[in-house]
Chain A
């Protein structure tokens, strides 16, 4: 089962507003990834984070790797209708080289943008 807690579960926002969501873990990770998934499609990678404290942007998206290595957050600024979708966090355990590339996922945050 999933070990990541992602919140909020859903968000209903107006176009132009900012969105913030986060993930927390009971164990440390060495990589955090954020994905967006549209209905009936596979997840699309948005941002990758590799160092504690790292802050990375991709257009209107900004994500941070928490200092404790147990959390991460994603912000979307000035939301637009095409931001609608489900956003997932994913974390990679640093335990062994076999675990590299194997990710645990949160349950997702559903974002709905209204005009």
Chain B
């Protein structure tokens, strides 16, 4: 396992369609995070999981967004009825929470374009 893996790397979809992204974290990591990044900005937190439990959701995550991590390994992020404002880079990160000292490692991201 060489790092966090995201699929697909790029997705172009028509407005109103549903899309699903996948993230495979570093295998021994127990936390998985989803961030969204728009042009010229840093990543913004969306949600995160401790094993299979979703612990927090940002108010950025509207009802059209849902994330799962069913077996505490890979995670999916689904966006329903996509809107042009959903166009962004969606980043997944993972970390091993053992102490206060922790680091988050990111995948290469999924670039979503809604046309």
Q: Which residues of A contact B (CB under 8 A)?
A: 1-2, 4, 6, 30-31, 33, 35, 40-45, 48, 50, 88, 90, 92, 94, 97-98, 100-108
Contact = CB atoms under 8 A, between A and B. Distances in A.
Given A35-B106, A101-B33, A108-B41, 20 more contacts: A1-B44, A4-B42, A6-B42, A31-B100, A40-B111, A42-B107, A42-B109, A48-B101, A88-B43, A90-B104, A94-B100, A97-B97, A98-B55, A100-B102, A101-B97, A101-B104, A103-B104, A105-B43, A105-B44, A108-B42
A102 B56 contact: yes
Nearest to A43: B106
Contacts of A50: 100-101
Interface of B: 4, 6, 31, 33, 40-45, 48, 55-56, 91, 95, 97, 100-109, 111
A96 B106 CA distance: 22
Contacts of B107: 42
A98 B6 CA distance: 24
Contacts of B91: 42-43
A98 B49 CA distance: 10
B13 to A, nearest CB: 18
Nearest to A50: B101
B40 A107 contact: yes
Contacts of A4: 42
B44 A2 contact: yes
